[in-house]
């Protein structure tokens, strides 16, 4: 990939440059010392990926990400010195359209995590290219649930680039008496999940927590999947994090969660595919629609990155295509209707 570096610290630029050169598969397109220079250079020469610092003089990485996604959109990986110190800005940048975040490798130290991220991002970029729908596999029968979850309705939300801001707005619009459980699968590094939970909890009137293996979805609560494994529902409708499929280019995978929901959720529910790059979640959403669940995608105008919702729309996976500010109200309506009638379609 042709990769641009945006960072005002020469040591950080050199560490990133050395990591890219040593890997041998990538080239440095250009270097910018602040956000404004990055926006200008990106319009003139859009790279495959930008390694974006957050704290810079003048225009910071959050605003630069926002403007690049408006004028010359491309993949952006946030590179930050510390997770804890810059967590709020990380989520703001992810909300503006960045696809992931990683800590800055130090000179003379391993850049293995950065290189892993680059490999995954390159595979995501390739996967974002349109493809012909494949024939759906027959849905396997699930074992009967032996222990019913407490929640009688589940709203599943999948998101990637632009997701944190979209999720924050959506959760803020859900009422405190929302009768269902909410599951969130956001493409994000595991190191940032605790901070994301805290940040979303500050925006939501519902309590937000990481999904704990073996626990049940409870009504009026929001659950966030861990970033190092795939969140699923087991045959008893309980949260489980699993490592398979190991070759998935998305971790956690929205498709994996949606597929487990289609197989193992025995009560009413709705799935929503929000802003994001690539195609993750599209096939899983189609499977949920075919299984009788109401499905929703975010519309083009309100999406920071109209990749995953478009892929789902191309497959005919969405019952509803809605602007972000209309999704919470529809979820509340669907949850109320489903609990009264037992139906999931509308």
Examine the residue annotation and report whether 160 is marked as an active-site residue of this protein: yes
Question: Is 241 one of the annotated active-site residues of the chain?
Answer: no
Q: Cα-atom radius of gyration of the chain, to the nearest Å? A: 20
CA distance 91 to 179: 27
Non-local (6+) Cβ contacts of 60 within 8 A are 35, 54, 89
Q: Which of 87, 128, 160, 303 is catalytic?
A: 160
Q: What are the percentages of helix, strand and coil residues in the chain, rounded to 5?
A: 40, 20, 45
Rounded-to-integer distance, Cα 255 and Cα 268, Å: 19
Question: 187, 189, 230, 253: which one is catalytic?
Answer: 187
Strands (E), the chain: 2-6, 27-32, 49-52, 75-80, 100-103, 154-159, 181-186, 208-210, 222-224, 230-233, 239-242, 269-273, 294-298, 320-322
Give the whole-angstrom CA distance, residue 230 versus residue 148. Answer: 22
Angstrom distance (rounded) from CA 285 to CA 295: 7
Residue of 260, 280, 299, 303 marked catalytic? 280
Q: Is residue 346 flagged as an active site residue? A: no
Active site amino acids: 160, 187, 280
């Amino acid at each position: 990939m042709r990769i641009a570096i945006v960072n005002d610290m020469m040591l950080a630029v050199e560490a990133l440059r050395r990591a890219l050169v040593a890997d041998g598969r990538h080239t440095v397109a250009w270097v910018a010392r602040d956000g404004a220079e990055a926006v200008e250079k990106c319009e003139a020469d859009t790279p495959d990926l930008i390694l974006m610092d957050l704290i810079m003089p003048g225009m910071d990485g959050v605003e630069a990400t926002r403007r690049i996604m408006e004028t010359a959109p491309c993949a952006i990986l946030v590179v930050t010195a510390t997770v804890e110190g810059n967590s709020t800005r990380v989520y703001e940048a992810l909300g503006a359209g960045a696809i992931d975040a990683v800590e800055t490798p130090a000179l003379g130290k391993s850049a293995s995590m950065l290189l892993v991220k680059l490999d995954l991002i390159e595979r995501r970029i390739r996967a974002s290219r349109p493809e012909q729908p494949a024939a759906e596999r027959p849905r396997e029968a699930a074992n009967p649930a032996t222990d019913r979850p407490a929640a009688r309705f589940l709203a599943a939300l999948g998101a990637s680039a632009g997701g944190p801001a979209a999720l924050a707005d959506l959760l803020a619009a859900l009422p405190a008496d929302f009768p269902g459980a909410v599951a969130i699968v956001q493409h994000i590094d595991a190191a940032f999940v605790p901070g994301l939970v805290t940040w979303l909890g500050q925006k939501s009137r519902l309590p937000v927590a990481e999904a704990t293996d073996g626990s049940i979805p409870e009504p009026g609560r929001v659950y966030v999947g861990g970033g190092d494994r795939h969140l699923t529902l087991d045959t008893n409708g309980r949260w489980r994090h699993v490592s398979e499929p190991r070759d998935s280019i998305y971790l956690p995978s929205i498709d994996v969660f949606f597929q487990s929901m289609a197989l193992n959720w025995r009560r009413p529910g709705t799935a929503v595919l929000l802003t994001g790059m690539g195609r993750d979640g599209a096939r899983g959403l189609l499977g949920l629609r075919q299984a009788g669940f109401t499905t929703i995608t975010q519309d083009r105008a309100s999406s920071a990155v109209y990749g995953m919702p478009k892929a789902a729309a191309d497959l005919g996976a969405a019952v509803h295509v809605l602007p972000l500010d209309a999704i919470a109200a529809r979820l509340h309506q669907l949850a109320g209707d489903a609990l009264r009638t037992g139906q999931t379609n509308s």
